Structure 1
């Protein structure tokens, strides 16, 4: 593909991404995969160059652009050669990826700028859009981190998580024996720290209330030495179904899944009321802590959607609290850096349940944010998370 053809392909893809953000369609990486599935003439270098252009344009645009062309032209100050591509010059140099992924001014949509937790300085915003590293979690049911690093010679130990590894970009983890045998799972270092903060132990009864495809469920099961019981609950049948092969590969047998009907969660969990040692609520949220992985999600978020998410988080916390036994632990987490999803949500819980005791997690990282803690890409090198813990009154 010529540089002009690459630019045109990026424009077409950006138009699709913008429309999907407006209508609730597929994610950018899915759209890119579909686009090139129908264009097998494009070589690997072409695909990589177009993908990098698309993501550079997304990262550069805090607000949703009017069109793909407008989004790509937004890179002109960093990639002036793009102007030659638009002019149709056949001799224009190949576009190169910009050295930076944007500035504080372009990283955050204007309406969200004042909603970040007060401990997060504006200087940290650009890090929200840096490329995320590829982190793995060692599955202690299968071996230790040293064994995983021997199996993956390019891996290095993560700085904060004692069970984490970081591998170079481009490593095909799923082609490795370490992954196929269940020795490692793909999981961001921040998610690993959150799972460790739950302090799950063998013999416990645990509920992962928003389990999704089971990343944290698997981590909890490993910390429990596959002894005890975990109920992995979610309202999304498709995501729960993707958990089963992961459980088998990891050697986990203590997990039972439970599909919940939205609005009828209490009824579905009534048999567990007041009987659970640990409840994890990794709640649906804005995803502002994971923009470096999915930067276009900034364009999907609206004030109305954020309001609905905050209401859902509060409802889930109320449901979770009813499940915890006296003296048991409730852990609340969101991959968000917005105050209303983090510290304000924790303050609301504390206001309504004054007998519950705040029990800050000993993660060895992060900063205090109200009664919880915050991890950020700029400060900790992880995805962004807010985490709070409480002990139920005895």
Structure 2
């Protein structure tokens, strides 16, 4: 493909991504994969270049662009060589018309930028949300330790114990160490969230929003496969991916619970008031993960944020009933909005006098209300809010 043809292909893919964002359709990665399957003539270099153009344009736009062409014109404002490829050649984009305007820049739609700024995420802190995330690994202590591990590429140690950082795009899935379960792909912030649980051998621990189980298998390693570990979620598809991951990692999970939304306690009743620790990795806006999926900021609305905060409050309350006297509830979101973090904990503590907040014992992080916040700019991790609540 010619460079101009790559630009036109990226514009067409961006059109699909913009439509999907407005209608809550497929994510950008899936749409890119579908395009590649339908365009077998595109070589690996073409696909890589088109992907770079697509994500570059997404990051360059704040609000949802009116079209893929407008998004690409926004990126071309910062790259004169890219602007020259709008030349009207065969398979390339038409020339830039007089008065044709690019999409608007920024970090996010205006209403969302204002919410972030109200949570002290502005300037460099906000810009860092759209950077490129590195690839972090967690060394599986059930099978090896960080000093004994040998990898094809040496990783940089990070704040999380047993954590290593590699360049973005490293194909670790092809390594023997990954295939045999010596390492797992897990962001350093996510690893620190697991560390905040303080899971110990012999305890009863519930991962209430387990998803595909990334944090669950990390907790199993902390527990040294000794004790009772419950992985629960309402998403059958995501929860089904836990078993093969657990087998590869050599972890033993006592029970996997598929919960019915709104009727979760029916299956959780046997654990009422019995858990040493309950982890609530709550569904959230994902503002802390935009480095990995930057088009997600186009999908969020004020109404959706309200729905998420209501759900978070219900999940914290549900989890509180599972914690035994002297136990702990760990609340985590990959969001940097206070309404999903510190404000949620303020509301919970006001309504549940039997719980008090304890600052998570983590090697990095800044105090935010009754919890700890991690940001891409300050700590090099995804954005997280982490709180630990202790029951009397």
- CA drift of 1:82 comes to 2.8
Q: Which segment drifts farther, 185-194 or 25-34?
A: 25-34
C-alpha distance in 1 between matches for 2:280 and 2:74: 39
1:17 aligns with 17
C-alpha displacement of 1:16: 0.8
Check conservation: 1:108, 1:125, Cα contact below 8 A: no
Contact 2:208 2:280 in 1 (8 A): yes
- Do the aligned residues in 2 keep the contact of 1:155 with 1:168 (CA within 8 Å)? no
Q: In structure 1, how many angstroms separate the alpha carbons of the residues matched to 2:34 and 2:121?
A: 37
Q: 1:118 maps to which residue?
A: 119
TM-aligned CA deviation for residue 363 of structure 1: 0.9
Deviations for 1:236-295, whole angstroms, at most 9, x for unmatched residues? 000000110001001111342100111101222111100010000000000000000000
The answer to whether the aligner puts 1:52 opposite 2:52 as a matched pair is: yes
Q: Does the CA-based 8 Å contact 2:74-2:105 persist in structure 1?
A: no
Does the aligned pair in 2 maintain the 1:331–1:389 contact within 8 Å?
yes
Report how far residue 174 of structure 1 moved.
Answer: 1.1
Q: Where do 5+ consecutive residues of structure 1 fail to align?
A: 93-103
Match of 1:175 in 2: 174
Deviating 4+ runs (over 4 angstroms): none
Match of 2:390 in 1: 391
* TM alignment of 1:212-251, pairs within 5 A: 212-251=211-250
Residue aligned with 1:12, SS: helix
- RMSD after superposition: 1.6
Deviations 1:330-356 (A, max 9, x none): 000000000100011011111111231
Runs of at least 5 residues in structure 2 that lack an aligned partner in the other structure: 93-103
Q: Distance in 1 between matches of 2:176 and 2:152?
A: 12
Match of 2:311 in 1: 312
TM-score, length basis structure 1: 0.93
* Equivalent-residue separation in structure 2 for 1:331 and 1:391 (angstroms): 9
The aligned counterpart of 2:371 is 372
1:36 aligns with 2:39: no
For residues 59 and 121 of structure 1, the distance between their equivalents in structure 2, rounded to whole angstroms, comes to 16
Shift of the alpha carbon at 1:119?
4.1
Q: Quote the Cα distance in structure 2 between the aligned partners of 1:81 and 1:387.
A: 44
Alignment size in residue pairs: 380
Post-superposition CA distance 1:351-384 (Å, at most 9, x none): 1112312111011111111001100000000000
- Alignment correspondent of 1:98: none
Distance 1:220 1:78 in 2: 45
Alpha-carbon shift at residue 145 of structure 1 (Å): 0.9
Q: Any conservation in 2 of the 1:158–1:189 contact (CA below 8 Å)?
A: no
The separation in 1 between residues aligned to 2:148 and 2:260, in whole angstroms, is 42
> Are residues 379 and 293 of structure 1, via their aligned partners in 2, closer, same or farther at CA, if it must alter by over 3 Å?
same
**Does the residue aligned with 2:85 lie in a helix, a strand or coil?**
helix
Query: 2:337 is paired with a residue of what secondary structure?
Result: coil
